């Protein structure tokens, strides 16, 4: 996960990418992290300020589908995404975007057997 230093002394960092696996945080959140001797790296401890963004995890179920085509569908409705290659990518729902539009598309693709998805972090403004 990438982060920008906000206040190194306080351990405050701003998440600078879409979290692939971390639940309960989203891009642009400001978090508190401290160095963990066991992990030998900075480790998330808590969120200081939420951005209002949400994170959706998408798995491609239909191997005939092109990941870039699917990512473009979400980009066209205002969502950035990041992929790991293969059949998995994460989608950022910006704070100002109405989630129902995105959820309708997710459900259509799921019903068609193209994807499955998880909502590891929905901000307060994206709850349904």
Question: pLDDT digit string (tens) for 26-40?
Answer: 999 999 999 999 989
Write out pLDDT tens, residues 71-119. Answer: 999 999 999 999 977 899 999 999 999 999 999 999 999 999 999 999 9
pLDDT attached to residue 62: 96
Domain residue limits, the chain? 3-49, 54-126
Fold for the domain defined by 54-126 = Alpha-Beta Plaits (3.30.70)
Q: How far apart are CA 8 and CA 31, in angstroms?
A: 11
Whether the per-residue pLDDT at 58 is higher than 90: the answer is yes
Average pLDDT score over the chain: 95
Residue 12 pLDDT grade (very low, low, confident, very high; cuts 50, 70, 90): very high
**78: region left, alpha or beta (phi > 0 left; psi from -120 to 50 alpha):** left
Are 13 and 3 in contact, with CB atoms under 8 Å apart?
A: yes
């Amino acid at each position: 996960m990438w982060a920008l230093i906000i206040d190194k002394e306080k351990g405050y960092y701003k998440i600078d990418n879409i979290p692939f696996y971390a639940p309960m945080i989203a891009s642009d959140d400001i978090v508190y992290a401290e160095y963990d001797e066991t992990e030998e790296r900075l480790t998330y401890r808590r969120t200081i300020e939420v951005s209002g963004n949400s994170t959706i995890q998408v798995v491609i179920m239909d191997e005939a589908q092109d990941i870039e085509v699917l990512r473009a569908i979400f980009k066209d409705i205002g969502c950035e995404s990041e992929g790991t290659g293969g059949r998995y990518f994460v989608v950022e729902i910006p704070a100002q975007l109405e989630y129902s539009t995105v959820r309708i598309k997710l459900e259509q693709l799921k019903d068609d057997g193209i994807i499955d998805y998880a909502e590891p972090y929905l901000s307060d403004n994206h709850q349904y």
